[in-house]
C-alpha cells in the first residue's frame, strides 16, 4: 500500500562506495567482481535489506524466473497431484509459479497464454484442449511443456495409458469378463482418445468385446447417465474415463441396487484421493501424477538453458500401475 521506498542497487552502490554496475554484478555475475569488493557489497546490501527487483531484471535481461501452469479445470482433483508436483519443482528451482484455469476452453487457454506471455519463461500445459496445429504454432514462439498430451516432438510427459489399459483389460479378462464398456470423457480431450484407443487395442488382442459410450462429463455427476447407459448395454465390466466418473457410476449403481462387483465390475483411471474411500473401494489405474508435474517443469527449465550440445526436447512417458481394490470381481455366473 504505502510504498516505503524499497532499496535499489543505487542505494547500495552509494553506501558501499562503488558503481551500481558493480552491485548488479555482485548478484548476477559474482565472478566478475573482486572477492573483497563482492563481500563488502554483499554486507552493505544485507545491512540495507536490499532485494533485487525481479521486474526490472526481467525487463532488461528477459530472464523472468517464472513459469505458468494452465489446467482445464482447477476443480478436478485429478489435477491436484500434477499441480502439486509442478509447484514443488518450481519452488525448488527458485522459480515462481503461476496457476491458471482455462475452464476447459481452448480459446481461454490461448488468451491466458497471450496475457502471460511477457511475464513468464514458459508454460506447463496440462491436458491442453488446443488443437495440434494451434499448439505447434504457439510453441514456435513460446516455451511449452505438455502434460498428458503429445504433439509432434514438443516436450511432453504423459502418464502412460497404453500398458495401463492393457493391464485393465488383462485384469478383467482374467476375471472372466468378455464384454467391456468404456464410459468416455470429453472428446476434445487427447487423453480420453488415447485411453479409448489403448483399451480397444488391448481388448482386441485379448479377444474381449469392447464398446464406447458417452461422452460423459468427467465428474461425479456424470456417473448417473453413464451407469444407466452402461447397464442397458449388458456389459459386465465398466471402465470409466476417470475416477470421478467411476465414483459417480458406483453411486448410481448402488442407488439402483446393482451389486458391484457382483453384477458388474467398475474400473477408473487416476487413483485420485477418495478412490479408496468409496464403497466398494475403486479399482483404478494409478499414475505418478505428482511426478508428471515435476517432470514437466523440469523439461521447461532444461529447455530454457538449451544449447547446441543439448539433446532435443523430450517426450517422457511415466509408468502406471493398476491398483486392484473391491470394485472388480469375477464375472457373474449367469
Partner DNA sequence: GTGAGGATGGCAAGCGATTGCCAAAAGTTG
Partner DNA sequence: CAACTTTTGGCAATCGCTTGCCATCCTCAC
Mask for 231-250, x = binds a copy of itself (CB under 8 A):
----------------x---
Which region among 93-101, 187-195, 262-270, 314-322 touches a copy of itself (by CB under 8 A)?
A: 93-101
Given candidates 48, 52, 163, 332, which one binds DNA under the rule CB under 7 A? Answer: 52
Q: Which is nearer to a copy of itself, 35 or 277 (CB)?
A: 277
Q: Which is nearer to a copy of itself, 98 or 318 (CB)?
A: 98
CA distances from 248 to 50, 206, 278, 286 (A): 54, 28, 10, 18
For a copy of itself, the binding residues in 53-82 under the rule CB under 8 A are 53-56, 58-59, 62, 64, 66, 74-75, 77, 80
Select the binding partner of residue 70 from a copy of itself, DNA, none (C-beta < 5 to 8 A, by kind): none
Q: Which is nearer to DNA, 18 or 151 (CB)?
A: 18
Given candidates 1, 4, 29, 49, which one binds DNA under the rule CB under 7 A? Answer: 29
Other Cβ atoms less than 10 A from the Cβ of 198: the count is 19
Cell readout for 99 is: 496457476
Select the binding partner of residue 255 from DNA, a copy of itself, none (C-beta < 5 to 8 A, by kind): none
Given candidates 46, 47, 53, 279, which one binds DNA under the rule CB under 7 A? Answer: 53
Q: How many residues bind DNA (CB under 7 A)?
A: 32
Name the minimum Å distance from CB 96 to DNA. 15
Name the minimum Å distance from CB 279 to a copy of itself. 5
- Short-list 84, 70, 77, 71, CA closest to 294: 84
Which residues contact DNA (rule: CB under 7 A)? 5-6, 8-10, 17-22, 24-25, 27-29, 32-38, 50-53, 56-57, 59-61
Which residues contact a copy of itself (rule: CB under 8 A)? 1-4, 6, 51-56, 58-59, 62, 64, 66, 74-75, 77, 80, 83-84, 87-88, 91, 96-101, 114-119, 141-143, 247, 273-274, 277-279, 303-304, 306
Amino acid at each position: 500500500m504505502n510504498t516505503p521506498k524499497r532499496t535499489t542497487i543505487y542505494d547500495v552502490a552509494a553506501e558501499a562506495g562503488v558503481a551500481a554496475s558493480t552491485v548488479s554484478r555482485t548478484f548476477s555475475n559474482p565472478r566478475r567482481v573482486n572477492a573483497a569488493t563482492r563481500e563488502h557489497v554483499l554486507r552493505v546490501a544485507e545491512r540495507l535489506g536490499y532485494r533485487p527487483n525481479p521486474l526490472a531484471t526481467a525487463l532488461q535481461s528477459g530472464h523472468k524466473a517464472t513459469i505458468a501452469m494452465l489446467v482445464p479445470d482447477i476443480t478436478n482433483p485429478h489435477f491436484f497431484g500434477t499441480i502439486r508436483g509442478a509447484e514443488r519443482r518450481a519452488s525448488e528451482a527458485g522459480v515462481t509459479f503461476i496457476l491458471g484455469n482455462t475452464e476447459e476452453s481452448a480459446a481461454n487457454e490461448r488468451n491466458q497464454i497471450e496475457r502471460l506471455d511477457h511475464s513468464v519463461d514458459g508454460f506447463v500445459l496440462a491436458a491442453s484442449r488446443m488443437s495440434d496445429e494451434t499448439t505447434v504454432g504457439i510453441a514456435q514462439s513460446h516455451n511449452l511443456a505438455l502434460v498428458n498430451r503429445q504433439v509432434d516432438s514438443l516436450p511432453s510427459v504423459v502418464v502412460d495409458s497404453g500398458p495401463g489399459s492393457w493391464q485393465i483389460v488383462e485384469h478383467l479378462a482374467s476375471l472372466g469378463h468378455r464384454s467391456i464398456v468404456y464410459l468416455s470423457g470429453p472428446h476434445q480431450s487427447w487423453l480420453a482418445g488415447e485411453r479409448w484407443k489403448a483399451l480397444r487395442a488391448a481388448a482386441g488382442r485379448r479377444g474381449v468385446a469392447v464398446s464406447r459410450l458417452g461422452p460423459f462429463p468427467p465428474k461425479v455427476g456424470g456417473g448417473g447417465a453413464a451407469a444407466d447407459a452402461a447397464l442397458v448395454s449388458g456389459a459386465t465390466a465398466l471402465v470409466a474415463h476417470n475416477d470421478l466418473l467411476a465414483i459417480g457410476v458406483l453411486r448410481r449403481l448402488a442407488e439402483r441396487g446393482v451389486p458391484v462387483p457382483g453384477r458388474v465390475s467398475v474400473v477408473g483411471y487416476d487413483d485420485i484421493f477418495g478412490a479408496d474411500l468409496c464403497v466398494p473401494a475403486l479399482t483404478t489405474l494409478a499414475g505418478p501424477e505428482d511426478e508428471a508435474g515435476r517432470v514437466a517443469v523440469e523439461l521447461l527449465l532444461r529447455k530454457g538453458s538449451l544449447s547446441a550440445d543439448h539433446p532435443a526436447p523430450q517426450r517422457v512417458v511415466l509408468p502406471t500401475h493398476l491398483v486392484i481394490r473391491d470394485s472388480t470381481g469375477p464375472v457373474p455366473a449367469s
